[in-house]
Structure 1
Amino acid sequence: MVFSRPTLTSLRSQVAADIAAGLPGLNALLRYNNLNILGDVEAGLVDGCYGYLDWITQQSVPFTSEDEFLEGWAALKGVTRKPAVAATGNVTLNGTGGIVPAGTALTRSDGANFTVDADVELVGGVAVVAVTAIATGAASNTVLGTTLSLAAAISGVNSLGTVSAAISGGSDVERDDDLRTRMITEYSRPASGGSANDYVNWALSIPGVTRAWCERNVFGSGTVGVLFMMDDVRAEHGGFPQGTNGVASAETRGTPATGDQLIIANALFELQPVGPIVFGRACTANTVNLTIAGIADATDTTKTAIAAAFAAALLSTAIPGGSTPLSAIEGKIAAVSGATGFVITAISASAGAVTPGPTGNISSNLGALPVAGNITYV
């Protein structure tokens, strides 16, 4: 039976009734009577005790625990909170000549700071320097073409530089809800020596990875592919990893990956069984476009909500190489205020098929993930 915690009002009423019952024939609950005031104080103290017990109960099980208690429950299954990661990228500096020393500070217009990783000499008046954000977190991710300025002048080097390879990969410390989801998955599906679920859980434990899928025998017997998405740190690329597919640096039986795929492959190499050849693989986009009739005069607010519902429907059903039912899209859009009367008259998929007919279910090619494209109103 579920315990019903009494409210403060009910506690005050209960204490008042007990005082009155203990002093028959007297009006012990007058407005300024000490007993009345003491009764309210007692009720407040008891309510605080109930609150503390309620909090203890929440920390006593993995499903509702928070902060260090959540981390403690997760640690029992070997799941740890993903740390914040600093963004990295390249900046191009120009000038007449000279050397940009390691540790040189560069500043973004909003005050975010970056440092040069290694000494670089200007050749032909140009130097491309690798930089790392001083502060960890997604806030330091910087898009291509952003201007950075030298914090201190360097002889022969212009004070302004341009981001020539997006400063990315920065991620915030993992949130409680995300850690709890991974922890509960580990409790319900514990490691079993290299099952498909193991590869997914291992990939999800890597900072920046938000979704992952395992491909069996992707390039023949003894090969495993791990597809993944980085929805937060690669938001400027639609969440798709940046790099080339391949194996870990230490794996001699295949071509090493680069970029995000190499980070994943290297991390998995330390966890996987010794036999399989594991490939870090980025999903490709299956861009889905809709044509909707019947609500061409809908407001911009309604159309924005429909676009968000469309994207949410694809996200909730997204499986690389899988199928997305039309009913999932229609159900999400139907819930939007102002969308009454809509009719989806055509659907196109850039890396898949639509069957049966022009408004059927959407299938994606191998390794392709459905993402929301354009919506045309007629």
Structure 2
Amino acid sequence: MPYNVPTLKTIIEQGLIDVQSSLDTVLPKFGIEQALNSAVSGSVRDLYDYQSWIVRQIIPTSESDDQTIIDTAQSEGVVRKLATYASGTVTFSGTNTIPEDTQMTHSDGRVYTVTSSSLNGSSVLAVVQSEDTGVSYNVPEGEALTLVSTVPGVSPQGSVTAAISGGAEIENVSELLERLLFRKRNPPMGGAVADYVAWCREVSGVTRAWAYDAYQGGSTVGYAFVFDGRPDIIPTSTDATAMDAYIFRHQDPATGSYVGRPAGIEVIYIGLTLKPLSTALNIVPDTTELRSSVSKAMSNYIASLSPGSTLLLSSLRTAIGAVTGLTDYTLALTTNVTAVANELHSLGVISWGNA
């Protein structure tokens, strides 16, 4: 049975009983004995609090300190993902290569630096890297970048032809805890299905991943992943190419040893498409705070679904009904929502007050 830590009031009262019993007298309301009992009781309560803190650190949970989770994960071979730079390819019209360290800017002020360039007929292909880390430096294909200083024989404006991606923030401790628990429940097996999920989630920015054995027959494994920290969570072609190379062979973040898919296994990237859920919803009371809480509850449930899963109306209702402060609601959705194998549910537009 659980042990209940006594309150400070209980400790003081018990201490007073013990003192009076030892002295065989009733103590006055004010006196040195009362003061000493209160002081000692406060110290005892501090010890209880310290022991309670130790208990929360023994087995990492959401109640553990961040550093405890980080250190424990490190010891288990789950290294916290650091913030990363974004990189990609920008194509310019021209007849000369662009020198390394040449800078170019986006219209919103983001700066990128050339790491290498090559000629392809009348085009110059420049591989660029963001000047700083973070998801905000990712740029989709088709957007324009402009050289800060002119380069002879090269047009000043280029177009992103291979999405500038890979930029990510430092991993949240909650996500690190999820990966640690996944590692404990699914220890590395040299190419088991769970290993592919773990490998995908080792890549900076990747928050969810799935893998399927015998995806297209024997000796095949299908995998998919998303970036929940981006406005568009679906991986770009650059992301898919980088992940394919990572799964083929990479250094383990903890040991430095090379690991990857076993010989004879064909891995198949599953290109996902989103299936947004747009519905109408009335809530009582209808406040901005409750709308935010309900949206978060719906998003959390939908995020727990894997590609091709059925969105259950009963589970969605359970998530909405569990929101603290909500007394009643009306949801326009009346049936379960199915998805095909490569579709991933997401939360679309909620029409508040129109159900």
TM-score under structure 1 length normalisation: 0.68
Match for 2:231: what amino acid?
Answer: E
Q: Say if 1:192 and 1:198, in contact at 8 Å, map to a contact too.
A: yes
Question: Alignment partner of 1:48: what SS?
Answer: helix
Structure 1: where are the runs of 5+ without partners?
244-258, 345-358
- Determine the structure 2 residue equivalent to 1:189: 186
Structure 2: where are the runs of 5+ without partners?
250-259
Q: Say if 1:321 and 1:365, in contact at 8 Å, map to a contact too.
A: yes
Question: Alignment partner of 1:46: what SS?
Answer: helix
- Determine the structure 2 residue equivalent to 1:236: 231
Q: Say if 2:73 and 2:79, in contact at 8 Å, map to a contact too.
A: yes
Name the CA distance, whole Å, in 2 between partners of 1:62 and 1:303. 32
Name the CA distance, whole Å, in 1 between partners of 2:216 and 2:13. 72
Match for 2:50: what amino acid?
Answer: Y
Q: Say if 2:83 and 2:171, in contact at 8 Å, map to a contact too.
A: yes
Name the CA distance, whole Å, in 1 between partners of 2:228 and 2:268. 20
Give the drift of 1:110: 9.6
- Determine the structure 2 residue equivalent to 1:351: none
Give the drift of 1:59: 2.1
Match for 1:236: what amino acid?
Answer: P
Name the CA distance, whole Å, in 2 between partners of 1:197 and 1:369. 19
CA RMSD of aligned residues (A): 4.5
- Determine the structure 1 residue equivalent to 2:2: 2
> Does residue 171 of the first structure (1) align with residue 168 of the second (2)?
yes
Question: Alignment partner of 2:267: what SS?
Answer: strand
> Does residue 224 of the first structure (1) align with residue 221 of the second (2)?
yes
How do residues 269-284 of structure 1 correspond to structure 2 at under 5 angstroms? 269-270=248-249, 271-284=260-273
**CA 1:6 to 1:332, structure 2 compared with 1: closer, same or farther past 3 Å?**
closer
TM-score under structure 2 length normalisation: 0.72
Give the drift of 1:364: 1.5
Name the CA distance, whole Å, in 1 between partners of 2:17 and 2:284. 63
Question: Alignment partner of 1:194: what SS?
Answer: coil
Question: For 2:49, which of 34, 46, 51 is the aligned residue?
Answer: 51
Give the drift of 1:136: 3.0
Match for 1:82: what amino acid?
Answer: K
Cα-to-partner distance string for 1:155-211 (whole Å, 9 max, x where unaligned): 889xx9898576542222323322222222222232334332222222222222211
Question: For 1:371, which of 339, 346, 349 is the aligned residue?
Answer: 346
Cα-to-partner distance string for 1:328-355 (whole Å, 9 max, x where unaligned): 33444556748634443xxxxxxxxxxx
Name the CA distance, whole Å, in 1 between partners of 2:140 and 2:20. 71
Give the drift of 1:241: 0.7
Q: Number of matched residues?
A: 335
Percent of aligned pairs with the same amino acid: 27
Q: Say if 1:29 and 1:35, in contact at 8 Å, map to a contact too.
A: no
Name the CA distance, whole Å, in 2 between partners of 1:82 and 1:364. 32
Q: Say if 1:320 and 1:369, in contact at 8 Å, map to a contact too.
A: yes
Q: Say if 1:143 and 1:163, in contact at 8 Å, map to a contact too.
A: no
Give the drift of 1:222: 1.9
Match for 1:242: what amino acid?
Answer: T
Match for 2:348: what amino acid?
Answer: G
Give the drift of 1:229: 1.2
Q: Say if 1:19 and 1:28, in contact at 8 Å, map to a contact too.
A: no
Name the CA distance, whole Å, in 2 between partners of 1:195 and 1:74. 21
Question: Alignment partner of 1:56: what SS?
Answer: helix
Give the drift of 1:66: 3.9
Give the drift of 1:276: 0.4
**CA 1:113 to 1:303, structure 2 compared with 1: closer, same or farther past 3 Å?**
same
Name the CA distance, whole Å, in 1 between partners of 2:91 and 2:80. 35
Question: For 2:208, which of 191, 208, 211 is the aligned residue?
Answer: 211
Give the drift of 1:213: 1.4
Match for 1:265: what amino acid?
Answer: D
Instruction: Using CA pairs under 8 Å that are at least 6 residues apart, name the structure with larger relative contact order, 1 or 2.
Output: 2
Q: Say if 1:108 and 1:148, in contact at 8 Å, map to a contact too.
A: yes
Q: Say if 1:20 and 1:28, in contact at 8 Å, map to a contact too.
A: no
**CA 1:49 to 1:287, structure 2 compared with 1: closer, same or farther past 3 Å?**
closer
Cα-to-partner distance string for 1:240-293 (whole Å, 9 max, x where unaligned): 1111xxxxxxxxxxxxxxx11122222221222212011233312234444x59
- Determine the structure 2 residue equivalent to 1:285: 274
Question: For 1:314, which of 299, 302, 308 is the aligned residue?
Answer: 302
**CA 1:196 to 1:303, structure 2 compared with 1: closer, same or farther past 3 Å?**
same
How do residues 135-174 of structure 1 correspond to structure 2 at under 5 angstroms? 135-138=132-135, 140-141=137-138, 164=160, 167-174=164-171
Name the CA distance, whole Å, in 2 between partners of 1:210 and 1:334. 27
Name the CA distance, whole Å, in 2 between partners of 1:303 and 1:224. 40
Name the CA distance, whole Å, in 1 between partners of 2:299 and 2:28. 64
Question: Alignment partner of 2:329: what SS?
Answer: coil
Q: Say if 2:27 and 2:33, in contact at 8 Å, map to a contact too.
A: no
Match for 2:210: what amino acid?
Answer: W
Name the CA distance, whole Å, in 2 between partners of 1:296 and 1:75. 44
Give the drift of 1:230: 1.4
Name the CA distance, whole Å, in 2 between partners of 1:98 and 1:275. 43
**CA 1:303 to 1:12, structure 2 compared with 1: closer, same or farther past 3 Å?**
closer
